[in-house]
A and B are shown apart, each in its own frame.
Chain A
Amino acid sequence: MAALPALELAPPAATLEDEVVAHFDLLRAPLLRYLASLGLPIADGEEIVQEVFLALFQHLRRGGGRANLRGWIFRVAHNLGLKRRNRGGGAVSVEWEWLSDPAPDPEQQFFRNESGRRLRAVVRALPEQDRRCLLLRAEGLRYREIGHALAMSLGAVSLSLARSLARIARATER
């Protein structure tokens, strides 16, 4: 069974700075989208992403391991994002208007609008941790990476995703 498109790994680089920038190039957009899903403005997300990659640089310079590096990066971003959000007054409501199919075929416009509406409704109703798992999976992270990022076991991640996907499948079937 095919998985979602996986995130690439950064290729070997000449210097540590180059390696960090290569990771930044691959992961900035997924990180920004994930931070936006926590309710943070994009500008705040950019600040956090800078902090994340500076932390990565320090981590690697101190001889830190490269195993599950994407999980490590998302975990740092997640923690910094929550810290920033809490400083700003706690949880905020996230609009999910962008959850619609890209470039819909005009003939299927009606069905797609309807399916997009249902998708948004399901996602809004999910517990926050389930939504986080779903978003990270959509960004191409493997289950073990998601587990590392959100401090969850492999079983908890897969259970959360199975629950969310079953709800989406049920809500969007025609």
Chain B
Amino acid sequence: MSAGNVHLTDQELVLANDGEIAVDRARHLAGCNWCQIRGRELQNAAALFASANGPELPSAGPARTRLRAHLAAVAANPASESAQVTRWYAVLAGTLLAVGMIAVANLNLPVRAHRLEMPSPRLTPGAARAVNRDAVCSVELPKNQVAPADLRRRVLQEYGIAGSDSTRYEVDYLITPALGGADDVRNLWPQPYLSTVWNAHVKDELEDRLRELVCGGHVDLAEAQRDISTNWIAAYKKYFGTDRPVR
């Protein structure tokens, strides 16, 4: 019996549904009553499963509106792309940053050994407003709140990069206002958009996570402020349970 005369297996019958079988097998199927009956049995089983009711879903309207808003925000903010840099690009950016830092060091400017993915503890120890958890959680602050312009200028001056391209940095709050962080120069630092994997976008994720935990009553506000201001990367690893950004 040649291969062309052997009945199709269930796997071949399944593959035939997407036209994924060889020509000689398709020819056999076209002329084989047994294979066609078996194929219909499998199709009926698939149809029975597919026709079952799925779980009840909420209306798509609000989710669609939310997606539109997110897309508009991302489209208006090229910085968000930094979260998606490839490993190659991250390595290149890291190398360029290292070269840049050596150059800065040689120029004897204020920015020296510390890496800007972490703020200088001396210049940016963090500062919080005198507010409690209820006050923090009762107000929905806009994401990525921008610090006042005069504060941003002072921060860049203090870090010795006042003349640099401002589009390369987000002057970010160390303790986000959404967790009670203050509009204070001690609570701001220039975070590079394209520094390493630990960039501004990753920190935004930590801020969202901490706010959820604080407002959900799982973490004390003071503890969250302390963790994020002491070492935000360590805090990320602690609260996400990972050694690398989750996205």
Residue numbers of A with Cβ under 8 A of B are: 1-5, 16-17, 20-21, 24-25, 28-29, 32-33, 36, 42, 46, 49-51, 53-55, 57-59, 61-62, 83, 87, 98-102, 115-116, 119, 123, 134, 137-138, 142-144, 154-155, 158-159, 161-163, 165-166, 168-169, 172-173
Residue numbers of B with Cβ under 8 A of A are: 9-11, 13-18, 20, 29, 36, 39, 41-55, 57-58, 60, 63-64, 66-68, 70-72, 74-75, 80-81, 83-84, 240-241, 246-247
Q: Are A143 and B46 in contact (CB under 8 A)?
A: no
Q: Are A50 and B45 in contact (CB under 8 A)?
A: no
Q: Are A61 and B81 in contact (CB under 8 A)?
A: yes
Q: Are B53 and A102 in contact (CB under 8 A)?
A: yes
Please give the distance in Å from B25's CB to the nearest CB on chain A. Answer: 12
Give the dominant DSSP class at B's interface. helix
Please give the distance in Å from B68's CB to the nearest CB on chain A. Answer: 6
Please give the distance in Å from B71's CB to the nearest CB on chain A. Answer: 5
In-complex Cβ contact of A32 among B50, B57, B71, B74 (8 A): B57
Residues of A within 8 A of B43 (CB): 1-2
A52 (CB) vs chain B CBs: closest residue = B67
Q: Are A29 and B67 in contact (CB under 8 A)?
A: no
Q: Are B17 and A1 in contact (CB under 8 A)?
A: yes
- Known A169-B41, A172-B45; judge A119-B52 contact (CB<8 A): yes
Whole-angstrom distance between the alpha carbons of A53 and B68 in the complex? 10
Q: Are A142 and B18 in contact (CB under 8 A)?
A: yes
Residues of A within 8 A of B50 (CB): 4-5, 137-138
Residues of A within 8 A of B48 (CB): 101, 115, 119, 168, 172
B29 (CB) vs chain A CBs: closest residue = A1
Q: Are B42 and A50 in contact (CB under 8 A)?
A: no
Whole-angstrom distance between the alpha carbons of A124 and B74 in the complex? 41
Q: Are B52 and A17 in contact (CB under 8 A)?
A: no
Q: Are B49 and A123 in contact (CB under 8 A)?
A: yes
- Known A138-B46, A158-B14, A162-B9; judge A24-B64 contact (CB<8 A): yes
Q: Can you name 23 A-B pairs with beta carbons within 8 Å?
A: A1-B13, A3-B17, A4-B47, A17-B72, A21-B71, A33-B55, A42-B57, A46-B63, A53-B67, A54-B74, A58-B81, A61-B81, A87-B240, A98-B53, A99-B53, A102-B51, A119-B49, A138-B49, A144-B18, A154-B15, A155-B11, A168-B49, A172-B48
Give the dominant DSSP class at A's interface. helix
Residues of B within 8 A of A83 (CB): 246
In-complex Cβ contact of A29 among B10, B29, B57, B66 (8 A): B57
- Known A99-B52, A119-B52; judge A50-B14 contact (CB<8 A): no
**A42-B57, A53-B71, A168-B48 provided; 9 other pairs, C-beta below 8 A?**
A36-B55, A53-B67, A59-B84, A102-B52, A116-B52, A138-B49, A143-B15, A158-B11, A165-B42
Whole-angstrom distance between the alpha carbons of A137 and B70 in the complex? 30
Q: Are A4 and B13 in contact (CB under 8 A)?
A: no
Please give the distance in Å from B41's CB to the nearest CB on chain A. Answer: 5
- Known A62-B81, A138-B50; judge A1-B55 contact (CB<8 A): no
A16 (CB) vs chain B CBs: closest residue = B75
Whole-angstrom distance between the alpha carbons of A99 and B53 in the complex? 6
Q: Are A49 and B63 in contact (CB under 8 A)?
A: yes
Q: Are B49 and A50 in contact (CB under 8 A)?
A: no
Residues of B within 8 A of A172 (CB): 45, 48
Whole-angstrom distance between the alpha carbons of A156 and B74 in the complex? 38
- Known A4-B47, A169-B44; judge A25-B53 contact (CB<8 A): no
Please give the distance in Å from A17's CB to the nearest CB on chain B. Answer: 5
Whole-angstrom distance between the alpha carbons of A69 and B83 in the complex? 21
Q: Are A158 and B15 in contact (CB under 8 A)?
A: yes
Residues of B within 8 A of A144 (CB): 18
Q: Are B57 and A33 in contact (CB under 8 A)?
A: yes
B9 (CB) vs chain A CBs: closest residue = A162
Whole-angstrom distance between the alpha carbons of A20 and B64 in the complex? 11
